[in-house]
Amino acid sequence: MATEALGEERPALFLRKATGLVRGWSVRDSMVYAVLATNFVTLGIYEFTFAQAPFPTGQLITAVIISGIWVSFLVIAYTGLIVTIPRAGGDYVWQTRILGSGLGFVMAATGWWFILWLWAPIYGNILAVQLFEPLWATLKWTWPAGGAAWFGTNNGIFVVTLITIALAGLLVSIGMAGYARIQRWCIVGGLIGFLVVVALLLFNSHASFVSAFNQEAHNLFGVNNAYAATNHAAAKAGYTTHALGFGPLGPTMLLVPYMMFFLLWPNWGATLYGEIRGASDFRRVFTGMFGGLWITVILTVIFLLLVYKTIGWDFYQNANSLSYNLTPQFGIWPYPFMFAGWLVHNTAFQVALILVLSLWFFGWVGTLFLSSTRVIFAAAFDRVLPDRAAEVSEKRKVPVYSLVLMLLPAVGLAAIYAYSSTFRTYTLDAVLVIAVTYLFSSIAVVILPWRKPDLWRASPASKVKVLGVPIVPVSGVITIGLLGFCLYEWLFNNLYYVNNRSSLIYMGAMYVLAIVVFIAARVIRRRQGIDLGLINKEIPVE
Amino acid sequence: MVPVRIFFATDIHGSEICWRKFLNAAAFYKADMVILGGDVTGKVMVPITAHNGYWEVVFGGERRRIESKEELEKIQTQIRNRGSYPAVMSPDELDHLSQAEGAVDERFGTEMLSSLDRWLDMADTKLGGGQVPCILNGGNDDFFEIDPVIESSPYVTFAEGKVLDLDGFHLVSMGWTNPTPWDTFREAPEEELAPRIEAVAGLIPDMERAIFNFHAPPYGTGLDEAPALDSNLRPIRGGVVMQPVGSKAVRDAIVRYQPMLSVHGHIHESRGVKKMGRTLAINPGSVYGDGVLQGALLELNAKKGKVTKYLLVNG
């Protein structure tokens, strides 16, 4: 049998030839995944439109940096969980193992499955405002009636959401193998597009931007002196801008729960395979997620500073506030990258820039339902869901029933989202429910050393200490602080639009549904003579 | 006729905590018999160097100095529970192992067989002197020297290549798999696996009550999804790209013979259940490194010739 010695001076261990002794996945891969998950383009700049207006004195750059620092502790906490229990299924596995089957199922079903139904129309809306609207506007296409603005209508949002759902469903069906290759090209193309925007904003002056903006706005929308008109319209609507700075801290902290819309996801694809874990694994896993998070933070800060330098801070806030109040200047979402493209007076260039930047969307949309499939399969294997939920068609390899469980509710919700402007304001519900799931994983990591002492002692995570204190549980406590703060603000501050009655009923219904499914499964299985309580009950060792 | 309750686990790879749990599983789940589907032996040997009055070991990424025999015993238990073999040796022996060709293999073999001996002794005690049938098989990662050791155990039945009668059901076992990138012990090309399967399946008198215990899962069934690897055995695209790596010969045999039940292992990540015609195929997966024994609890009805209940458990 061939063997391998691992160690520095003298070998610390010997491995023999055996299946599954794979090397850890590359830091670069996990970083790419984290950059796409905390998508600065699709999620970040989209969210800025809604974040600044309710808290006009809050400072975006400071909020992004504070959020980045705070979420870094979430990265440490999740790294601890990943290297201790490196299993596909993530939160579901950790919570069922550490906190119990029922809680684990409810949190996984709500946070990784049900709430993804709402993410479908949100993603659809992002596709509409970052691809279809700017493309139609640039090409001056007038069909359907209303041209670019049609994509902001109820019908427009619904149709684009259906396209998004179909796309995500199709990508689940064809599998990750091909899509992963596409993802890599998307991140390369997306970054090139962003670099072009950076170059445009860096090498052009504010005056040339104003001039280009006015010229293209007149050309595409027939609006004269549009730059000043935007500022004037916002002022007339009662919006007061505030200069770029670092404080005050209070209103800036209130932007943090908004920043979670894009910065809370560096751990989204975090699953480590490989059985031989050493201290280096902690560093590798952490570096991938942390690097991805901070690349996003840095890109965001660069973008905002360039907005300040060239686009104009007041103008950016004004354009966003008009959109926030549903009166966007040109009838479409104020896409800053489209405005940057106007610095080059060439339609082909402008179209190419919009298309290249849409790669940020296409690089991530395929994963929309991926986590849901895994949770549905895991729940079916645990006999909580009917066996059929995990069936995959023999011929086409399509998980038909799990797709139905994802797609049909998503289509229904897309209709409600599209035709109810009130429901559209519940965007942060999509973050809140996942944050609750993260909260319980954070609790799991804090109590891990007591709940599973042997597992903890054997984990590389237990060796990572600062001043003799293990930093993983401490980071779990700090993460609980972050999520607790955000949940408190979301639930008690009206300006996030998630604490009104129907929003709370909508979210509560998801938890009720998960609890009902779990209890029904236990009752039905018990009648069949199957005790689901045995699933995670530990066999005694002695 | 009373249904038969079976606990099936697999791929414990030297984890002593999982072995102990396996032996206790019959009592815990009220199972009539327990089956371990292969890959019994570990993959890692951890040298503990003995110095004058103390020992040294690197475990869990940490170098530790051990001052007492009690402490030594404790760390050895921890190492065994993770599926590794603690090997106490002098610094000179460690140098020899690192440099002399074949020395590590030899020591690995010694540790594996001595560990297996201890495990079989435990089985004799735990299983009430044979009251609870315990069936063991090799897997592709197990070297062939373990076969006669298990065969010689009075209370554990070695299953490879045999048809075993289990209260009216017929169990056939095969630890061989299709080729892997690691070129392990019991591997053969698909065209060689097929006749091996034919040889044992042909001995089954009644396929309605047959159980296939084949280490390799059937190809393309979702029970055989493993991370796709590059040429350096590194998962590609962050491990999100999975590919089927099971055996086509196993798949063909299940489709052709349609046994009542088919239990598998080998691909730890691919815990799942698949209905293939009338056959229920199961891979309970493995997380032996966590000290958790994943398994399948199965209830079989001989009269109906079917699996009436199943549950995948994390014990």
Is the pLDDT at A417 greater than 70? The verdict is: yes
**Test the A interface: residue of B237, B283, B299, B313 with most A CBs within 10 Å:** B237
Query: Distance between CA B275 and CA B124 in Å, rounded?
Result: 36
Helices (H), A85-145: 91-98, 101-109, 116-127, 133-139
Identify the pLDDT of residue A170.
Answer: 84
A528: nearest CB among B97, B240, B309:
B309
What was the pLDDT predicted at A274?
Answer: 43
Residue A513 C-alpha, separation from nearest chain B C-alpha, in angstroms: 23
Mean pLDDT: which of A160-174, A330-344, B57-71 is highest? A330-344
**Nearest-CB residue to B233 (from A22, A279, A397):** A22
Q: Do B269 and A24 touch (CB under 8 A)?
A: no
Q: Which among B43, B229, B271 has CB closest to A15?
A: B43
Q: Do A460 and B60 touch (CB under 8 A)?
A: yes
Range with the lowest mean pLDDT among A320-324, A465-469, B61-65, B264-268?
A: B61-65
Q: What are phi and psi of B281, to 5 degrees?
A: -105, 135
Please say if the pLDDT value at position A26 is more than 80.
Answer: no
In 3D, which of A399, A398, A407 has the Cα closest to residue A119?
A: A407
Q: Is the pLDDT of residue B74 over 70?
A: yes
Q: How far apart are CA A349 and CA A323, in angstroms?
A: 26
- Report the SS3 class of residue A345: coil
pLDDT per residue as tens digits for the range B17-35: 999 999 999 999 999 999 9
CB contact under 8 Å between A10 and B91, yes or no, is yes
Residue to substitute from A3, A15, A19, interface B, most B β-carbons within 10 A: A19
Residues B105, A85: C-beta atoms closer than 8 Å: no
Task: Give the Cβ contact number of residue A270 at 10 Å.
Answer: 24
Amino acid B303: pLDDT: 84
CB-CB under 8 Å, A13 with B47: yes
Q: Using the beta-carbon criterion (under 8 Å), do B61 and A280 form an inter-chain contact?
A: yes
Length of chain B: 315
CB A327 within 8 A of CB A233: yes
Name which of A11, A33, A540 is nearest B238 (Cβ-Cβ).
Answer: A33
pLDDT tens by residue, A384-411: 899 888 887 767 677 888 888 888 999 9
Inter-chain residue contact A390 with B272, CB threshold 8 Å: yes
Least confident of A290-299, A442-451, B32-41, B124-133: B124-133
Residues 6+ positions from B173 with CB-CB distance below 8 Å:
B37, B135, B137, B159, B160, B161, B162, B164, B200, B213, B214
Look up residue B3 and give its DSSP letter. P
Residue B244 identity: P
Name the closest residue on chain B to residue A96, using Cα atoms. Answer: B314
pLDDT surpassing 80 at residue A23: no
What is the CB-side half-sphere exposure of residue B111 using CA atoms within 13 A?
26
For residue B269, which amino acid is it? Answer: E
Rounded Cα–Cα distance for residues A431 and A208 (Å): 39
Report the distance separating Cα B26 and Cα A235, nearest Å: 76
Q: Where are the alpha helices (DSSP H) in B127-173?
A: 146-151
Contact list in B for residue A542 (CB cut-off 8 A) is 20, 24
Q: Rounded CA gap, A308 and B87, in Å?
A: 64
Report the Cα–Cα distance between both ends of chain B, in Å, rounded.
29
Q: Does B49 sit within 8 Å of A10, measured CB to CB? A: yes
Nearest CA-CA partner of A182 in A363, A42, A368: A363
Report the DSSP beta bridge partners of residue B313. B295
**Residue B296, token pair as written in the block:** 């399948």
Distance, in angstroms, between A292 CA and closest chain B CA?
13
A14, A20, A460 member nearest B108 (Cβ)? A14
Dist CA B166 CA B152 (whole Å): 20
B238, B308, B188, B265: which is closest to B18 by C-alpha? Answer: B265
Q: Give pLDDT tens digits for A329-345.
A: 889 999 999 999 999 99
Residue of B nearest to A527 (CA): B309
* B104-134 pLDDT, tens digit each: 889 999 999 999 999 999 998 888 777 889 9
3-state secondary structure of A196: helix
Handedness of CA A479, A481, A485, A487 (dihedral sign): positive
Nearest neighbour of B62 by CB, restricted to A32, A463, A534: A463
pLDDT value of position A426? 86
How far is B227 from A469, CA to CA, in rounded Å? Answer: 35
Q: What totals of helices (H) and strands (E) does chain B contain, helices first?
A: 7, 18
CB B176 within 8 A of CB B184: no
Q: Is the four-CA dihedral A494, A496, A502, A505 of positive or negative sign?
A: negative
Instruction: Count CA atoms within 13 Å of residue A84 on its CB side.
Output: 32
Residue of A3, A16, A381, A451 for testing the chain B interface, max B β-carbons within 10 Å: A16
Q: Is B167 left (phi over 0), alpha (psi -120 to 50) or beta?
A: left
Which of A8-12, B100-104, B204-208, B209-213 has the largest mean confidence?
B209-213
Average pLDDT over residues B68-84: 91
Q: How far is B69 from chain A (nearest CA, A)?
A: 20
ipTM: 0.92
| Cross-strand bridge partners of residue B156 | B134
User: Inter-chain contact A26–B234, Cβ cutoff 8 Å?
Assistant: yes
Provide the angle, in degrees to the nearest 10, between the axes of the packed helices A256-263 and A60-84: 50
- pLDDT value of position A272: 45
Q: Report the gap between the CA of B172 and the closest CA in chain A (Å).
A: 23
Q: Report the gap between the CA of A32 and the closest CA in chain B (Å).
A: 9
How big is chain B by its Cα radius of gyration, in Å?
20
In angstroms, the CA A442 to CA A464 distance is 17
Q: How far apart are CA B29 and CA A63, in angstroms?
A: 53
A381 vs B contacts (CB less than 8 Å) = 271-273, 312
Q: Which of A28, A394, A539, A542 would best serve as a mutation to test chain B binding (most B beta carbons within 10 A)?
A: A539
Closest by alpha carbon to B263, among B271, A385, A295, A412? B271
**β-bridge partners, A214:** none
| Mean per-residue pLDDT, A182-202 | 94
Say if the Cβ atoms of B309 and A539 lie within 8 Å: no
